[in-house]
Structure 1
Amino acid sequence: MDHRPGRRPPPFARLRPPALRPPSFSGRLHEPRTATAVGRWLGAALAVCFLTGLVSHFLQHPPSWAAGLLPSRPVWGYRLTQGLHVAAGLAAMVLLFAKLWAVYPRLFLWPPVRSVRHALERLSVALLVAAAVFQVLTGLLNIAEWYPWPFAFVPVHYTVAWVVAGSVLLHLAVKAPVIRAHWSRRSAGTLALPGEERDVPDRRALLLGVGTAVGAVTVTTVGQAFTPLAPLDLLAPRHPGYGPQGLPVNRTAAAARVTPAAVRGWRLEVRGPAPYRLALAELAALPQRRVRLPIACVEGWSADAEWGGVRIRDLMDRAGAPPGAGLRVVSLEAEGAYRIMEMGREYAEDPLTLLALRLNGEVLSADHGYPARIIAPNRPGVLQTKWVARLEVR
């Protein structure tokens, strides 16, 4: 380009675009004290998620030796643990991104590895960030029932939960000296940090903002499980009072391919030492029980309802079931991961466990499992089998 005196520069020569630079993140709060403060909250949320997730997984997929030992009481047990699981997961999402904001500059230090200890630290950070982000984002999409991936959610979510737990423990072990030094205002090694007292108001404001965001997310979603807060249920994918017969539905009859033709002439088949079959009218003529039980879904919503039907243990006794027998339940639905459900003796013998024919005083709608469905206490919603076709004494 010719810029000699007397020569006019070519058009647009002065309109060069500015050089693009990545953000420097040089603020004072991108430091260990802030990261430790947020990390305490994040660690608590992840611990609640992990423990309640184990409860949910083993209730849905119990090992063979424990299948008959799972408790049916308290009736609200699964409602509580799964509600906590989803609420803590949503809180962890906010806290995780706040934690990443606090440590972001350190994620891109150069050289990336300076020693064996530093390599372990980087490995723990990489595992923790990748696994935790994957876990909270796929969990969020699960409660919205959107699955834009080719793998089965439940086994992958369960496996990655152990990866998150292991990476947290590794991270804590590697970063223990830093965490200890910045755990509290009086921690040794932090009292002389330059500018520390100046940073305190800013840090408090940041933590107040993060806490407010967590509170807002919790208050506007937890109403799907904690019904007193249902009027504030603005961001949750389900409302406990919306749906056929006043109860939400995840899997409809159409989705399960249970058509009116499939239930025409329906008869319940009960297999056991003394097998029998019952038409719907015959089933309705048996002694009926009414129970009020919550139905709690793995996506985090739950709601109380009044159910009417025949006790499972009465149907099993009629089939000659021996003491301590379990039950297999087979649905009319054509396919699905929970088309066949196993029920241990604690549930089968509980007087609150029904083959339900009515919901809130009305005959079951098709989407709620007409002509008959299972309802049992302290049980994940996916195991409250709808469109029951057959009971098998085990």
Structure 2
Amino acid sequence: MPSPPDALRRGPFRAGAFTSVLHEPRTTVVVGRWLGGALVVCFLTGLASHLLQDPPSWLAGHLPSRPVNGYRVTQGLHVISGLAAVPLVGAKLWAVYPRLFEWPPARSVLHALERLGIAVLVAATLLELFTGLLNTLQWYPWPFPFRQTHFWLGWLATGGLLIHLAVKAPLIAANWWRRAAPALAQRRAFLATTTAAVGAVTLVTAGQSVPWLRALDLLAPRRPDLGPQGLPVNRTAAQAGTVTVPADWRLRVDGPRPYQLTLAELGELPQYEVELPISCVEGWSAAARWTGVRVADLLTRAGAPAGTGVRVTSLEAEGPYRVMEMPAQYVDDPLSLLALRVNGEVLTADHGYPARIIAPNRPGVLQTKWVARIEVIGR
């Protein structure tokens, strides 16, 4: 491919336009491996979150109900690594941005395709981090669905990253361990500043999911210890239209022997107390003491055998999680309750009065509030 005329080399395209000695391979490789680690953790934990929240039919019956804090840990790591990646992306782009103005812009068809691939990688990564950050704030100023878009952007960014690593493997290998000049002192200062930025972002946001960092939770969107009954609320009763529960409310359990129970009758059944976290996709989590009736006991009374899944329907009139399916392994777990109380108090309307589901290792959106019906759906 013939070179463009030198007369076009103006502004950032001119020779010597960038003077910092840190725009070099060693700095790029060091920051890149930190960023790559953060993105891999973010992708794998995000994939775990997606599969727990919306599993394909072949996987739903094999998801584990233990460890009880599984989703709390993976989703906490997902948001922590995503936030840590923000300053790392900034440092990485700063180190390589003069390459955007390299001359000639495309030396061959393969070089042009490589640059196009990098553009897709950068665009997908920035959009993934930007939408994820706004999701932690529960702000969605775009017309497309967040969860599905975030999922596929993750695959696009990860695929682009793998291709980029394959193309740049010789350069990465040559600079992986090299510590010599040029710019050794400046590089150390730049990397120390980047490390400090990542550490600061992590320390002031991770407290929403890491209890022992809660005192430093200054910039995270949520304080997990603030809210009615000591727990945050994502969807209030007013938003769900369930502020007023019908005076004749009864829990309906449909199975081989269907029956209905009033709230007073539910309270007369054997009650169990468990300690389980509420863990939300936005990254925050908080443990609480829940008291109620085992879901398995309700199904046994309905004549359903062990190994039976259920469909749970909420009182709310509409919403993407108004109806929730719970596979058999969660139903049979003795920690899965139809909860009537939290932290020793009757549930408030915002926490799901008169009754809600609480089960181990499940996303918060699947811990259905304002339960009206539990229906046996088979094994």
Cα distance in 1 for residues equivalent to 2:163 and 2:117: 6
Matched, 1:329 2:312: yes
Cα distance in 2 for residues equivalent to 1:106 and 1:302: 42
CA shift digits 1:168-210 (9 cap, x unpaired): 0110111112111211116xxxxxxxxx624001001100110
Counterparts of 1:32-71 in structure 2 under 5 Å?
32-71=25-64
| Paired position in structure 2 for 1:83 | 76
Tell me if structure 1 keeps the 8 A contact 2:276–2:360.
yes
| Paired position in structure 2 for 1:343 | 326
Q: 1:215 aligns with which of 175, 178, 199?
A: 199
| Paired position in structure 2 for 1:5 | none
Tell me if structure 2 keeps the 8 A contact 1:76–1:378.
yes
Tell me if structure 1 keeps the 8 A contact 2:205–2:216.
yes
| Counterpart AA for 2:205 | T
| Paired position in structure 2 for 1:318 | 301
Report SS of the residue matched to 1:335: coil
Tell me if structure 2 keeps the 8 A contact 1:121–1:175.
no
Cα shift at 1:32: 1.4
| Paired position in structure 1 for 2:5 | none
CA shift digits 1:82-135 (9 cap, x unpaired): 000000000111101110010011013243221133123202211110000000
Cα shift at 1:333: 1.1
Counterparts of 1:1-394 in structure 2 under 5 Å?
24-185=17-178, 197-260=181-244, 262-394=245-377
CA shift digits 1:66-86 (9 cap, x unpaired): 212111000011110000000
TM-score norm. by structure 1 comes to 0.90
Cα shift at 1:21: 6.0
Cα shift at 1:263: 3.5
Tell me if structure 2 keeps the 8 A contact 1:263–1:371.
no
Q: Which moved more, 1:81-90 or 1:322-331?
A: 322-331
Report SS of the residue matched to 2:325: strand
Cα distance in 1 for residues equivalent to 2:48 and 2:356: 24
Cα distance in 1 for residues equivalent to 2:293 and 2:95: 57
* Aligned Cα root-mean-square deviation (Å): 1.4
Tell me if structure 1 keeps the 8 A contact 2:21–2:182.
no
Tell me if structure 1 keeps the 8 A contact 2:22–2:187.
yes
| Counterpart AA for 2:288 | A
Cα distance in 2 for residues equivalent to 1:378 and 1:76: 6
Cα distance in 2 for residues equivalent to 1:145 and 1:110: 43
Moved beyond 3 Å, runs of 4+: 20-25
| Counterpart AA for 2:158 | A
Q: Which moved more, 1:321-330 or 1:351-360?
A: 321-330
Where structure 2 has 5 or more consecutive residues not aligned to the other structure, the ranges are 1-9
Tell me if structure 2 keeps the 8 A contact 1:120–1:174.
no
Report SS of the residue matched to 1:255: helix
Cα distance in 2 for residues equivalent to 1:331 and 1:96: 42
Identity %: 65
Report SS of the residue matched to 1:334: coil
